[in-house]
Amino acid sequence: MSTSQNILHAPSARSVRADDAVPSVLDVSNLRVVFEGDTRTVTAVDGVSFSVKKGRTLAIVGESGSGKSVTSLALMRLLPEHTARVSGNVNFDGRQLLTEPTSTMRSLRGNRLAMIFQEPMTSLNPSYTVGEQIKEVILRHRQMSKKEAAERTIAMLRLVRIPSPETRYHQYPHNLSGGMRQRVMIAMALACDPELLIADEPTTALDVTIQAQVLELMRELQQKTGTAIVLITHDLGVVAESCDDVIVMYAGQVVEQCSVEELFTFPQHPYTVGLLGSLPRLDEKRERLAAITGTVPDMANPPAGCRFQARCPFRINKCAEMPALMEVSQSHFSRCWRAPMEDLVP
């Protein structure tokens, strides 16, 4: 097989996963999000399907504009209703999230479905104390007195390892560093023990050392609580470190779906290969990082056929037709006419 497998010392790729029996928390099928503007209509998410298993982490990977953030906001029903048309099926614990009444969604959000965002600097309200903002979500979803909620807030701050939580409780977001604020966001999201946590680029805005701490914290809390996580990122290093399964998105579509080990050892879509090729590595001598040439297509007028073809070094005539997401090996899917290919290595 490939040389990269040896380097990563990954367990045998393409092995049947033993935990396929783990029940899934979230099942998304054929999710479509269309933004209707005055002059143009953009299909930001085009038929995306995936499921997230209990206690596991699914990474959604892709570059800016691939539709990964829109996907997460669509699941939470947080997209502006007058411009975004969302269709498909989102099954969360037997409920169809896209058709539930707004009141039901509100009682799920922050409670059983939680979300943290990319910008800890702006995601907290500057006018309220950190404690007030965490307490608010507890009081909203739990039958607790204000005192109990305040105690739970302090316990949550302690859980995310914020030093002297009693003092921090009364401080405002501007008194805290970026890493601290993201910990506060995590405490807020986990305050009601959600079954599913959606983390949209939770570490992108942080310093590298802080990134590692925050990821480590999330992983540790997941082990304690059994929360399933959807981690949206463009950083393959984050994927390798903290995820179980991965979907790669390109131009609103899933182009590859597999386990994390498979992604690094046996990538089956040229776009994934390109992403891996643009990762800096210390274990190989390279003249320069291989960037993917070209840019993401205009989603108001996506090209016919494979959406990656204009940037693809493996292009063939057949790419003028849109390939389906095909199973190339057990639990490994690729949207490429040429998959499976043994030599598709970065």
d(CA 283, CA 265): 15
Scan residues 114-133 and list those touching another protein (CB under 8 A): 114-115, 117, 119, 122-129
Q: Judged by CB, which is closer to another protein: 172, or 314?
A: 172
Residue 68 sits in the site that holds another protein (CB under 8 A): no
Give the binding range for another protein (CB under 8 A) out of 150-158, 168-176, 273-281, 327-335: 168-176
Beta strands at 84-92 and 24-36: parallel, antiparallel or unpaired:
antiparallel
Pairing mode, strands 228-233 and 57-61: parallel
Instruction: Please give the single-letter amino acid code of residue 120.
Output: P
Binds another protein (CB under 8 A): choice among 63, 100, 136, 148: 136
Residue 333, both tokens = 């899917």
| In the complex, minimum distance from the CB of residue 187 to another protein, in angstroms, rounded to a whole number | 12
**Measured in whole angstroms, how far is the alpha carbon of residue 174 from the centre of its chain?**
27
Give min distance, CB of 318 to another protein, in A.
42
Instruction: Give min distance, CB of 196 to another protein, in A.
Output: 12
Residues 184-203 that bind another protein (CB under 8 A): 185, 188
Site string for another protein, 76-105 (x = CB under 8 A): x-x--------------------------x
> Could you tell me the two tokens for 282?
């210390």
Whether 203 contacts 182, CB under 8 Å: yes
Helices assigned H by DSSP within 61-129: 68-75, 102-108, 120-123
Q: Is 182 in the site for another protein (CB under 8 A)?
A: no
Q: Report the nearest approach of another protein to the CB of residue 148 (Å).
A: 18
> What is the distance between the alpha carbons of residues 74 and 149, in angstroms, rounded to a whole number?
30
> Which residue number, 203 or 257, has a Cβ lying nearer to another protein?
203
* Stretch of 12-20, 169-177, 306-314, 322-330 contacting another protein, by CB under 8 A: 169-177
Least separation, in Å, of the C-beta of 308 and another protein? 31
Residue pointed to by tokens 């990122």: 233
Which of 229, 219, 224, 177 has its CA nearest to residue 199?
229
- Between 231 and 246, whose beta carbon lies closer to another protein? 231
Given a contact cutoff of 8 angstroms between Cβ atoms, the answer to whether 336 and 306 are in contact is yes
The answer to whether the beta carbons of residues 288 and 297 sit under 8 Å apart is no
- Name the site residues for another protein (rule: CB under 8 A): 76, 78, 105-111, 114-115, 117, 119, 122-129, 136-137, 140-141, 172, 174-175, 185, 188
